[in-house]
Every structure is written in C-alpha cells, then in structure tokens.
Amino acid sequence: MKLPRRKILHLAAGAAALPFSTHVARAQAYPTRQVRIIVGLPAGLAPDILARLIGPALSERYGQPVVVENRPGSGGIIGSQMVARAPADGHTLLLVLSGYASGGALYPKLAFNFVRDIAPVALIGSVPYLMCVTPSFPAKTVPDFIAYAKANPGKINMASPGVGTAPHLAGELFKMMTGTDLVHVPYRDSYLPDLLSGQVHVSFPAIAQSINYIRDGKLDGLGVTNKQRLGSLPEIPALDEFVPGYDGSGWLGVGAPQNTPADIIEGLNTAINTAIAHPSMKERLISIGVEPALMKPAQFGKLISDATDKWSEVVKFAGIKPE
C-alpha cells in the first residue's frame, strides 16, 4: 500500500499529539542523541508509515528526535545489516518485518544472520493477508478452489510482489498444506492490474491493499490468513477453517543490534507497548492494515524463532531461490 506524502505526514503528526505522560521518569543514560529507525523498504509503503507513527511517540517519551531512514534493497537485508553493524546502544533501531524470518533460508551464504544479529524489542502488530481471486474465477470458496486446483494442476497462476515476500510465502504455505500446484508469478511492479483483469488468477495481498476491491466487488476474498476471522471482514472465513493449522499472516515489530543493554530494550518495549495501546494509535494502525498486539522482548523473540523455523521449511519445500 502506498499513500501520498501528505497523508504520511498527517498520520505522523497525529501520532505526535498522542497524550503520553511527560512526567514519567526518563533514563539518564539513554538516549543521549537522535534515534534512527531503519526501514528496509521505500517510503510510502505501510511499514514506512508505521515507523513514522511510532517515531513521534518514542520522541515524546524520551525527549530526543526519532527519525526514519529508508534503506531499501535485497528484501530488507541492506537495512538489517546496517542495524546489525551499528553500535549496540539503542540509537539505531530496525523496523522488523516477518519476511526477514525467511532470510536465512533464502540467503544461506550471508555473513549476516537475522536471528543472531538483531535483538527483539517489541511486536507492533500482525498483518493479515487475503486469498483473493477475480469474480470470474470458477471457484467461490476455499474447498472449491482446492478441488479446482487439484483438477487443473499447474494451470492456476499465483501473483506476488516478488520472490520470498510475505504474500509469496503465504501462497506457498497454502500450496504445501493443500497439495495444490499453483504457478508462482513474481512481479517487480504492482500485480493488481493483472489480478483484477484475470491475467493472473489468485494472490495473497495485504488486507489494506485489497479490502476496497473486496468491498467494491472487484475481487472475491476466499479467506483471511489469520487464525481467526477479522472484525473488519467478518463474512470472510479464516483459511484455518478449511486448512487446519494454516496461519500465513505477517507481522511487524522493532529490533535493535544484538548486545544492546537489557535496560534499554526493556524501556523501549514499555514505550512502544504504551504507544500502540493508546486508542488513537490503535485506530491509526488498523487504518493501514495492522492489527495491534503487545509482547515483551522474550515473547517477540520466540515469535521470530518460530517464524524462522516455519518459513524456512516452506522455502525448502517450494525450492525458492532469490531473484
């Protein structure tokens, strides 16, 4: 999802106005200067907008500027490596995407290791995806889709924004768990025009990217990748209802260089959890397709570890190779 710069600035300015207590005691040793949040994607996408919402809240909490730097490239590896090599003092943070958990399997020869080199700080929320087809597609339900795919192996094209991206992996997980043969078609630019026209048949876009097309009847949502139905689209079932155990949703959070002092990480965790628990922030997060969620650093670390194991298995099953 890409929003106009004016909208980005409006959202960030709104977050800065959230009523955080200014009399909370601030750590004397941290931060001593500007804090950077590195985003491994271009400006204007949902993760970038999210970082620009969190930044003002941290700035208000700590009394120091918090800026967002976009360092796109190599599926987030460039930005992640930059943070991993930064001083472990909490002044350089990383916006963590669930897709990074598959990096070790996709790029086994990298000197950088996400799980080893990035310390978990806080989860911000989950990112639901939608299994979407055009209204002209023969299957109208997940069971019908599975039956149709098995009757037509290799004849259904599955679009994604690129090899190893979260929508791609969500689709590969679906293939693995249902025994279907869908042909992956990666795009460098938006695949939505081809999906809307029926040139490709199915995709797993983020809910923020697809919800308006669903509501306008231009796409059919067969299922959400969350374990439960979404409050915003209660009529669309969870894929887990038909494929038990399926969970292909993504998530976003904040990380720091490994060996960042525990008290700094705990303080950041408290500040971020306080920010995303505020009703105004919750509303803004939901508006860009993020379901807010709170976790302590250890819980977030387990989520990352479990996701690494899960998506590594999917990468190996599908034989995914980086572009």
Residue 206 lies in a domain: yes
Within a domain: residue 288? Answer: yes
Last residue of a domain, which of 206, 241, 276? Answer: 241
- Residue 155 and residue 192 in one domain: yes
159, 172: one domain: yes
Query: Does one domain contain both 186 and 286?
Result: no
pLDDT at 28: 53
pLDDT in tens, 78-93: 899 999 999 999 999 9
Q: What is the pLDDT of residue 44?
A: 80
Using 50 as the pLDDT threshold, list the residues of the chain that sit under it.
1-9, 11-13, 15-27
pLDDT at 42: 82
Domain-embedded: residue 210:
yes
| CATH (domain of 107) | 3.40.190.150
| Residue 53, domain member (yes or no) | yes
Q: Say yes or no: 53 and 115 in one domain.
A: yes
Same domain, 64 and 204: no
Among 179, 214, 241, which residue terminates a domain? Answer: 241
User: 260 and 111: one domain?
Assistant: yes
Same domain, 257 and 118: yes
Whether residues 136 and 279 share a domain: the answer is no
- In this prediction, residue 301 carries a pLDDT of 96
Query: Is residue 323 one of the residues assigned to a domain?
Result: no
221 and 138 in a common domain: yes
The three-state DSSP-derived secondary structure of the chain is CECCHHHHHHHHHHHHCCCCCCCCCCCCCCCCCCEEEEECCCCCEHHHHHHHHHHHHHHHHHCCCEEEEECCCHHHHHHHHHHHCCCCCCCEEEEEEHHHHHHHHHCCCCCCCHHHHEEEEEEEEEECEEEEECCCCCCCCHHHHHHHHHHCCCCEEEEECCCCCHHHHHHHHHHHHHCCCEEEEECCCCCHHHHHHCCCCEECCEHHHHHHHHHCCCCEEEEECCCCCECCECCCCEHHHCCCCCCCCEEEEEEEECCCCHHHHHHHHHHHHHHHHCHHHHHHHHHCCCEECCCCHHHHHHHHHHHHHHHHHHHHHHCCCCC
Give pTM, 2 decimals: 0.80
Say if residue 177 is in the same domain as residue 284: no
Query: Domain range holding 152?
Result: 130-241
* pLDDT reported for residue 134: 94
* d(C-alpha 155, C-alpha 277), whole Å: 45
Number of structural domains found in the chain: 2
Residue 109 inside a domain? The answer is: yes
pLDDT of residue 120: 98
For residues 187 and 100, membership in a common domain is answered with no
Structural domain contains residue 284: yes
pLDDT digits (tens, 9 = 90+) for 230-278: 888 899 999 999 999 999 999 999 999 999 999 999 999 999 999 999 9
Residue 5's pLDDT is what? 47
Q: Can you give the CATH number for the domain in which 215 is found?
A: 3.40.190.10
Instruction: Determine, yes or no, domain membership for 32.
Output: yes
Question: What is d(CA 269, CA 121) in angstroms, rounded to the nearest whole number?
Answer: 6
Q: Are residues 157 and 233 in the same domain?
A: yes
Which of 241, 272, 305 terminates a domain? The answer is 241
